[in-house]
Structure 1
């Protein structure tokens, strides 16, 4: 049977304790294995039992040999997002999309599921893998039933990009979106946490206000890492944070602040309340995936948790623990804008306004910006406005990187209407660069345009983009091409 979107009822269910075991079907949408019950009803997957690690739902179908398949990433992407021919063991976190012969179809799970959900797609079928562990250990659910996931699907003849937009909308029924475009400056990519103080922050605020040139939407000035010790405590900075917030406002920008919440997890809500009392209107929280799971999820490993990942409460899954943290931050932030960085997008959707969707760009090496920024912008742009506002990371303007390349990335990000943050080293400012920055900032503050990558089926760094009513081609290459070594 040729592959399309499977019926929501799988052909088989497997339960993993120490190894996969086939569950016995015992009624409509119900499977049982020793100590475990799995039910599937209108796409909703519920699991009960103890000593559980994974549940696998299997659909046996054939897909055409020329099919291309796309998946997502566990947290930030690392330049690896790509359409590929089916690779049976390739982990596709959260959703998958396939295209062949003018038809595109795929499946995903709704945001904030109770399990860490991923898919594998091969020539003989599809499997949904539900990681229900608590960290790296089996979960003990006790008497409760876990709402592990709710599946959604798309199938149609529209172009793949439009089908992914449709799938993202179906997965995310309650996004938390800001009222206005998100635009601003961030000092990380020229200061890198060193050698900046209150005066430099206020100077940055004046610079971004100058680029905005009186626009009715005020830009943000984000104080990134370096305002205090990297690991907290977050109760003071190397300069007076409340007075600095006031000076940012006086300069014509809105104050924003970076912090690392799991440096002191017991004080997360108190820390955010303190930031708000100082006058900060944007809270960027970072490093939580790394601090929770002990690693970054580059190139989509099969699971984010390792055997060393431990949560104190074994009755709740990793996904439930992560959502609880994000909810705590969102509630403490009140009406402040929340940006998640190194956060798990599918679990953060609805609890962050803005999601950093890719690994760091760079004010030191263009190749990082090309590899990380362009890739995440192209392949996660369909999530923009559906799961959250996408943030492909900062556009640097520094002496160490070529402005002829950075200005193209600046132009593209501004046109998409995604979050635009610039990191401008005063030493790199010229009349030409200032003109480029001002035009881009104002375009982004206006909300951007309707943008779509046109050659994303054949490359990881699309060059051809439909922007409004025109097609633009960007040249991302340095004279020697792409740098092949790690960055």
Structure 2
């Protein structure tokens, strides 16, 4: 599907300080150059000659159909909150937006290239579409100095079927995704939740996954999730902060030995870490006190040196897959659902005011990519996927599923798989999060989620409590895991009823319709749906 040539916007204005009035660029001392690209895009380039700049607004006047339905993306992960919705002019749609007319059967989309120099979102109203570019450095205005910033490259696509157009738009916005084979394996988070497990338990899980997939030529992963590092809770410090140089005494005395034991089971070792959280204030690179420790500032060279050293150490220990987590929360000061049109929280005072936060995060992801090496697999969680595309093999596109309440897995996992599936293979390998097998959740529901993910060819990790293993559960897992290692069902899957629900139950797979029954017999439980993904302290 060819992209449309992006026309010159009908309005351009800028904002100097984060709360200042909007002005014409010339009146604010800002040059906004709109440069058509050879492939139909429109590059937005900014120069300020030393004046501060916070945001840029571009608007295209365009008539919308009366029955228009709108679908945006997410700043980082979705939280069970993504769906087609009627026209709401005040809603921010991060990165990319689709407009669909059911009556006309037509869809068009707009977006910005991945690894942009700004945080970009769209708003849509009955008079047109607006693009808002946040170029702040932390919560303050950026000072670009004498350099020119490419804040975004804008692209439009047009077509018919909304799922196809969504995929075409994703492909237009990312020309260099990192190729990866099937990502499948074990992760103990949703039955252990970081507690009461040790190296032996991790190796047992690796043995379980190896037994389930048998002699499949594509080997699965065994991931050591949160809980392996030194526990600082006795001192009032978070259990999941750095430094990331040793394991928890007693349970994980030698992390290289753990990796070797996982590999000995015929499983590829993987590990989780939280790169921007430290247990105490560092000598350099501290951003602010945070969750009992310190958040690190990714704009500071000392932070990047620390993170690169951590990743190299983890790779030297023998871990092929590195899952890095929480960095958006640390760097921006808030979770996705509270971001709205202001993705960076107030009071985020960064070291480097000459680069936008978007540029800083892209550099941060690039440092992790380089330290992991070309043969390392990087999985981003709570990572800004639009800025990390091309620098990670895989991205957790939704918030946590749950080994405690099925309703959360239905609300969050099914939703993110449906509404971000079009990014799979075009941005990265989509990870809708783990499928649990736990005493607290209904295997009849979990196995449906397992089946859908396996058919989709997206990332499939399972959290299997040993207490739940039965002949039936093992058989279900073996079939699904082997299908996922094959790359999924031929042609993958696509949601069929996604225009009308946030958790589609009808899916096309192998030229037939597959029905899933997501709801419990007594319907959805709004209390369970909002419960925390992990037990309270």
Fold match (TM-score > 0.5)? yes
CA contact (8 A) 2:4 2:155 kept: no
User: 1:132 — aligned with what?
Assistant: 135
Structure-to-structure mapping, 1:2-401, within 5 angstroms: 7-17=6-16, 18-23=19-24, 32-42=26-36, 43-49=42-48, 50-100=51-101, 101-157=104-160, 159-178=161-180, 180-229=181-230, 230-238=240-248, 239=252, 240-264=254-278, 265=296, 266=303, 267-298=306-337, 301-334=340-373, 335-401=375-441
RMSD of aligned alpha carbons = 1.3
Compare 315-324 and 477-486 and name the one that shifted more.
477-486
Q: Give ranges in structure 1 of 5+ residues lacking alignment.
A: 24-30
Unaligned runs of 5+ in 2: 37-41, 231-239, 279-295, 297-302, 532-537
**Do the aligned partners of 1:293 and 1:305 also contact (CA within 8 Å) in 2?**
yes
Q: Using the alignment, how far apart are the partners of 1:434 and 1:323 within structure 2?
A: 41
Structure 1 residue 300: Cα displacement: 5.1
TM-score by length of 2: 0.87
Shift of 1:48: 1.2
CA distance in 2, matches of 1:78, 1:44: 31
The C-alpha deviation readout for 1:275-321, integer Å capped at 9, x for no partner, is: 11111000000000000011101165112102212221101001011
Q: Is the CA contact 1:72–1:81 (under 8 Å) kept in the aligned structure 2?
A: yes
Contact residue 191 and residue 436 of structure 2 kept, 8 A: yes
SS of the aligned residue for 2:117 comes to: coil
d(CA) in 2 for partners of 1:45, 1:186: 42
1:426 shift after superposition: 0.1
Residue equivalent to 2:299: none
Instruction: Return the alpha-carbon distance in structure 1 between the equivalents of residues 105 and 189 of structure 2.
Output: 44
Which residue does 1:413 correspond to in 2?
453
TM-score, structure 1 length as denominator? 0.96
Work out the CA distance in 1 between the residues paired with 2:62 and 2:451: 43
C-alpha contact 2:14 2:28 (8 A) present in aligned 1: no
Number of residue pairs the alignment of both structures matches? 475
Shift of 1:33: 3.3
- Select the residue among 507, 525, 532 that pairs with 1:465: 507
The 8 Å contact of residues 46 and 146 in structure 1, kept in 2 or not, is answered as yes
The superposition leaves residues 98-132 of structure 1 with CA deviations (integer Å, 9 ceiling, x where unpaired) of 11111110100000000000000011111100001
Task: Provide the C-alpha distance between the structure 2 equivalents of 1:33 and 1:419, rounded to a whole number of angstroms.
Answer: 50
Cα-to-partner distance string for 1:236-262 (whole Å, 9 max, x where unaligned) = 112121111111111110000000000
User: Matched residues in 1 for 2:133 and 2:496: separation?
Assistant: 33
SS of the equivalent of 1:165 reads helix
Q: Cα gap change, 1:268/1:62 in structure 2, threshold over 3 Å: closer, same or farther?
A: same
Return the alpha-carbon distance in structure 1 between the equivalents of residues 148 and 192 of structure 2. 49
- How far off is 1:234 after superposition? 0.8
Distance 1:299 1:35 in 2: 32
CA contact (8 A) 1:16 1:53 kept: yes
Q: Output the CA distance in 1 between the equivalents of 2:308 and 2:159.
A: 45
- Does structure 2 retain, via aligned residues, the 8 Å contact 1:80–1:299? no
SS in 1 for 2:85: coil
Distance in 2 between residues matched to 1:306 and 1:249, nearest whole Å: 42
Instruction: Give CA-to-partner distance per residue, 1:256-278, whole Å, 9 cap, x none.
Output: 00000002453111111111111
